[in-house]
Structure 1
Amino acid sequence: MKQLVSAIIAYAVQRDVDAAQLCKLAGISLTALKKQSAPAITRSQLDALWLSASRLTGDPLFGLHFAEAAKPAALGVVGEIVQTSATVGEALTHAAALTHLVTDQCRLEIHRTAKNFSVRFVPVTDYGDAPPTTFKLLVEFLMVMVIHEVSGLMLEKIMPSAVRLPYATPDPAAYERVFRCKPVKRAGEYVLVFDIRYWDEPILSANYELQSLLLKKTGKLQHKTDKPQSLEVRVYNHLLANSYLGIISLEEMAANFNLSPRSLQRKLQEEGVKYQDIADSVRKSLALYYISSGNYAMKDISYMLGYNELSAFTRAFKRWTGSSPAGYQSL
């Protein structure tokens, strides 16, 4: 629970919310939270944190956007799942058993058929079809996290075949974009459905290791500037820290900051930079780091940076450095 609370606060700060003000509204001691012996967070404090973060950011879809931005390893359970799993099916089964480490408000159930498998989020309290806002924020966050983390474990952008919620979504286009599937209303259900072909797919544990490495190395690779709170810096560091899932689009980044793509572009232009320039800068930093480490084949680096063809990566690298990847590696 403490890790989830810390992650929520960190994301809210990224969205220009004052951490001290947010914690005060939630009745949480920020000083105590940083200590190992911090008192347990109560459900009422967590509820107040969700609501206050949503209100202070002006984002009614705070849970969805937080899930897009969150680093699963920071919640402390992904590593344990990966270490005990060989396939996606095993990982989800273990995740279901570890849900209590993140929340006590719902549990996960996994169901398989010949054609698909489903991940069902079962509320501990029966809210019917009108759950409180705080539970909606929590369960939507957990559902999106499952989609994104499975994608990360496979290094593939997984699309659910169905998403079911017990209420009509307030912004269908945003939900469809984040869930990668149009949610349908189904009484009493919080369910993700996936094609059965994903069940026995092996987990790329090396990709989790890459994620962990990036989280540790982010401080060294982060963009340095005399404007630490600039939008450019926040966009750059968000792309960097989440790059194990690929470099996200302008539209996805804009949604993360609760802005329209045009507004994000305009705000970046006011700082004298374009989104594509920031994305290329992240790719360049990571490419140089991967090549210098000597741990990855060129085709793997190309794929991790979002290039379907090695030739496209080679052209981009020459544009960044004036040298080919192989030439740079031999220096």
Structure 2
Amino acid sequence: MADNNPVFSLLPVQTGLLRHLSLSLPDMGLNLDALLEREGYDNRRWLDEQQEVPALLVEKFLDHCLSETGDGLFGFHLAQRVRPEGFGVVGYIRHACRNLQDFILVCIRYEHLISGFGKTRLLKEPGRCIWSWSAQTLNPTFERHATEFTLTVMNTTRSLLEDPQFPWLTEVRFTHSAPQTMAARKEVEAHFGCRVRYNQKHNGLVMFPETLTMPFNSADAALMHSLEQHAQSQESSRTEKGFYYRAYKITREQIISRQASKENLASALGISSRHLHRQLSRENINYRALHEQVMLTLAIEYLSSSDRTIENIAMALGYTESQSFIRWFKKQTGQTPSRYRDISLSRKP
């Protein structure tokens, strides 16, 4: 796995989820302490002291688990061991929602409190709807296991229906290829209880539209209101306390205004350049990697959701000519900007 690639590797994952997942590892013959020590971290106290970790660490965690277990369905199997509280306030809100449609809207609104690399959408097709999730990563192995993990967790929401045995799915879709063995493919289909299709344009749980409004047996409007207030409070405190988020946000603003530099970031944060270096080191990043991460995120946003030309995007990101931008983007992603845009547009429903 290309663990030195800045592409999306610095997007944050909440340590509460990682700690929760680590509780299941001993039963799977795995040890998170050993992984952290191998990567140079101060064992699990490091997790206890951090609010979030970069996705890079989770990628390494997965790489370690795969090398130890050889389990091609590791994400799928791990998801069957987690509990809702592992997802923090979003997991608790789920129980208070009126129905699935409410919960999907909660996911769209607050999923960034769990991680910065996942995106939930509610898609519509004639006679069906798709609860979709995608990972912002260019690491195909991580994307595969993260997606199988997430869709498997999403499927546990069926337990909140008044009839938890109701066959709510018509099919499941994955953008990646099918498992290598027939036994693995059958295991996944048996778990979801429906057809599972691979090499699709999007990942998602497919269901009839009326499923969205089927009532949850644990709906509680007062609790829902209280938990949403808590989620909003977390948003505010994260922006105030999370050094990575503040540095990321300011760097983004400075790139857009063409004033990005290590010195300007330090000044905006009210600290010296040396202190900035120490703070970034504690987040397992450096200024160059942070800058490239923000640059790439902006480039992908522009390519995926605007009609800007490649030349215009290059200039917006501070390049004096487009060829330098094209070479840089291809180095980061393995694709030219035009090719990335074509693939991105082809995946849109």
Correspondent of 1:111 among 98, 123, 128: 123
SS in structure 1 opposite 2:190? helix
Deviations 1:180-231 (A, max 9, x none): 2232124431121012232111111179xxxxxxxxxxxxxxxxxxxxxxxx
Partner of 1:16: 29
Mapping of residues 1-331 of structure 1, within 5 Å: 1-33=14-46, 35=48, 37-38=49-50, 40-76=52-88, 77-83=90-96, 85-112=97-124, 115-125=127-137, 127=138, 132-154=140-162, 156-157=164-165, 158-170=167-179, 171-205=184-218
SS at match of 1:30: coil
3-state SS of the aligned residue for 1:138? helix
Structure 2's unaligned 5+ residue stretches are: 1-13, 221-349
RMSD (CA atoms): 2.5
Shift in CA distance, 34/167, structure 1 to aligned 2, threshold 3 Å:
closer
SS of the aligned residue for 1:169 comes to: coil
Deviation at 1:153, TM superposition (A): 4.9
- 1:26–1:116 CA distance, 2 compared to 1 (3 A): farther
- 1:220-268 Cα offsets, whole Å, 9 max, x none, are xxxxxxxxxxxxxxxxxxxxxxxxxxxxxxxxxxxxxxxxxxxxxxxxx
Structure-2 change in CA distance of 1:113 and 1:166 (3 Å)? closer
Contact kept, 8 Å, 2:170 with 2:195, in 1: the verdict is: no
CA separation in 2, counterparts of 1:110 and 1:4? Answer: 24
TM (normalized to structure 1)? 0.55
Is 2:111–2:119's contact at 8 Å kept on the other side of the alignment?
yes
Instruction: Please give the alpha-carbon distance, in whole angstroms, between the structure 1 residues aligned to 2:129 and 2:187.
Output: 25
| Alpha-carbon offset, residue 118 of structure 1 | 0.8
CA drift at 1:58: 3.3
Q: Which runs of 5+ in 1 are unaligned?
A: 208-331
Offset at 1:113? 5.2
Residues 113 and 72 of structure 1: is their aligned pair in 2 closer, same or farther, counting only changes over 3 Å? same
Kindly provide the amino acid, as one letter, of the partner of residue 37 in structure 2: K
Contact 2:172/2:204 (8 A) holds in 1: yes
The higher relative CO (CA closer than 8 Å, separation ≥ 6) is in 2
CA contact (8 A) 2:98 2:215 kept: yes
- Aligned-residue offset at 1:178: 2.8
Taking a change above 3 Å as real, the CA distance of residues 139 and 31 of structure 1, as seen in their structure-2 partners, is: same
- TM-score under structure 2 length normalisation: 0.52
In 1: Cα distance, 2:87 partner to 2:42 partner: 20
Q: Distance in 2 between matches of 1:49 and 1:32?
A: 16
Taking only the aligned residue pairs, the percentage that are identical comes to: 17
SS at match of 1:89: helix
Q: Once the 2 structures are TM-superposed, how far is the Cα of residue 48 of structure 1 from its aligned partner?
A: 0.5
SS of aligned partner of 2:24: helix
1:96 is displaced (CA, Å) by 2.3
C-alpha distance in 1 between matches for 2:38 and 2:147: 22
Q: Which secondary structure state, in structure 1, belongs to the residue aligned with residue 50 of structure 2? A: coil
